[in-house]
Structure 1
Amino acid sequence: MSATEAVHCMLTALFAVAAVRMLRQAVVTWTRGRRGRVDRLLHAAMALAMAVMPWHWAGAVPELPQSVFFAGAALWFPLTAVRSGQERRSAATARRLPYAVGMAAMTWMSYRAADHAHLTMAEGVPAAQQAMYLGHSMGGSRTDSAVTGVLALYLLACSLRSLTRGMPVLRGSAEVSDDSTSLADAWDGFWDGMMALGTVVMLLMPH
């Protein structure tokens, strides 16, 4: 097994566990509001898609429907932001922005997979058309790299924030070790961070 395949196996395991966790939470919170249930189901769908994405048989699912689905999911999170107390609408939206960007990253990876498939198909067309297509693809490569870089940097920052914010709780800090709500929030932050970090790796790795 190559190093790349080993990383893909670890990512598949991470996203599979995350998908099971989200599905379980969706069932547990079935009677606690539609928005939270939809949030968890969307996260579960993303985790499942990411779990199979590194492998060649993932191409059995068309890329365009995936892109449309996750683009809609990216819009869902900011559009359904709910304010708490005196919180501003912008602050409520910002809290859900990392989830929206994660879904946008999934949309972007699906788009790139479809573009790669078109590039592969171009190998069978006449030389003039192939050269035109390849020239267009090379012209967009810098833009592709820029978009990938922006998504990866933002998600990396979100990952580090989520992973470090709950560390005192996860270590069993004396001040909060008996607070079950704080512990649950810390674990949510841990999984948010791991999902974001796994998404960064998927963005940057060839698959």
Structure 2
Amino acid sequence: MSATDVVHYMLTALFAAAAVRALRRSVLVRAGGCRSRVDHLLHAVMALTMAVMPWSRGGALPALPQSVFFAAAALWFPLTAVRDGREGQLSATVRRLPYAVGMAAMTWMSYRAAGQSHETMADGVPTTHQAMHVSHSMGESKAGSVVTGVLALYLLTCALHSLTRDMPALRTTTGTVAEPAGLRNVCDRFWDGATAMGTLVMLLMPH
């Protein structure tokens, strides 16, 4: 078994667990109503897609419908931000932005997969058009690297923030029993950070 296969197995396990958790929460959710259920269902679809993506069958998933679906999901999170008495509309939108960026990363990976498929089909272009084709591909490659870099940097920031946010609190409360709500928040942040890190790895890995 190669190191790449080990990483693929780890990512599959992570996203399969995340999908089960999101599906369970979509059924059990009480607060937030329909919007929360849609949130969790979108997370479940994303996680299931990511669990399949590392393997050969993942490449068989239709790229264009994926891109359209995840682009709509990326818009869903900021557009459905609802403020409460403790925060304004801007704060509510920013709070949901990491989920939107995760969906945007899925959109970008699907778009790249469609582009690679198109390049494979275009390998037999006539010689007279090869220079133009190569120049166009190089321009797209540079722009694509910028998009990938921006998404990767944001995902890394979100992952580190979520995974390390509770560490000082955990050290200062050693020997005490945490409140259930507090434990639930810690668990939520762990899964947010873990899925963001997994998405980052998938974004940077060759497919």
TM-score, normalisation: structure 1: 0.93
Q: In the comparison of the two structures, how many residue pairs are matched? A: 207
Partner of 1:28: 28
Give the drift of 1:59: 2.4
| Structure 1 residue matching 2:85: 3-state secondary structure | coil
- What per-residue deviation string (whole Å, max 9, x for no partner) do you get for residues 140-195 of structure 1? 11111111011000110000110111335667934873300010010000000000
Contact 1:169 1:176 in 2 (8 A): no
Partner of 1:185, secondary structure, is helix
Tell which deviates more after alignment, 27-36 or 191-200. 27-36
In 1: Cα distance, 2:53 partner to 2:178 partner:
40
Q: Is the 8 A contact 1:169 1:186 kept in 2?
A: no
Distance in 1 between residues matched to 2:49 and 2:4, nearest whole Å: 18
Is residue 98 from structure 1 mapped to residue 98 from structure 2 by the alignment? yes
CA RMSD of aligned residues (A): 1.9
Deviation at 1:128? Answer: 3.0
Q: CA separation in 2, counterparts of 1:31 and 1:166?
A: 24
Q: Is the 8 A contact 1:169 1:183 kept in 2?
A: no
Is the Cα contact below 8 Å between 1:170 and 1:187 reproduced in 2? no
Contact 1:16 1:47 (8 Å CA) reproduced: yes
CA distance in 2, matches of 1:130, 1:176: 68
Does structure 2 conserve the Cα–Cα contact (< 8 Å) formed by 1:152 and 1:200? yes
CA distance in 2, matches of 1:174, 1:37: 35
Cα distance, 1:127 vs structure 2:
2.7
CA shift in 2, pair 1:53/1:199, >3 Å: same
Give the Cα separation in 1 of the matches to 2:48 and 2:169: 28
Q: 1:55 Cα shift?
A: 1.4
Is 1:54 aligned to residue 54 of structure 2? yes
Aligned counterparts of 1:90 and 1:155: Cα–Cα separation in 2: 20
Q: Deviations over 1:35-72 (max 9, x none)?
A: 11100000010011111111121122210000000000
Counterpart secondary structure, 1:84: coil
- 1:32–1:98 Cα change, 3 Å: closer
Q: 2:145 matched to which residue of 1?
A: 145
Question: What is the TM-score when the length of structure 2 is the normalising length?
Answer: 0.93
Cα distance in 1, alignment partners of residues 176 and 189 from structure 2: 15
- Whether the aligned pair in 2 keeps the contact of 1:30 and 1:37 (CA below 8 Å) is no
**Counterpart position of 1:72:** 72
- Structure-1 separation of matches of 2:153 and 2:31: 36
Q: Please list every run of 5 or more consecutive structure 2 residues that lacks an aligned counterpart in the other structure.
A: none
Checking the alignment, whether the CA contact within 8 Å between 1:76 and 1:100 is kept in structure 2 is yes
Larger RCO (CA within 8 A; separation ≥ 6): 2
Say if 1:130 and 1:175 are closer, same or farther in 2 by CA, change over 3 A: farther
Other-structure match for 1:115: 115
* Structure 2 counterparts to residues 9-48 of structure 1, below 5 A: 9-29=9-29, 33-48=33-48
For 1:85, what is the secondary structure of its paired residue? coil
Asked whether 1:163 is paired with 2:163, we answer yes
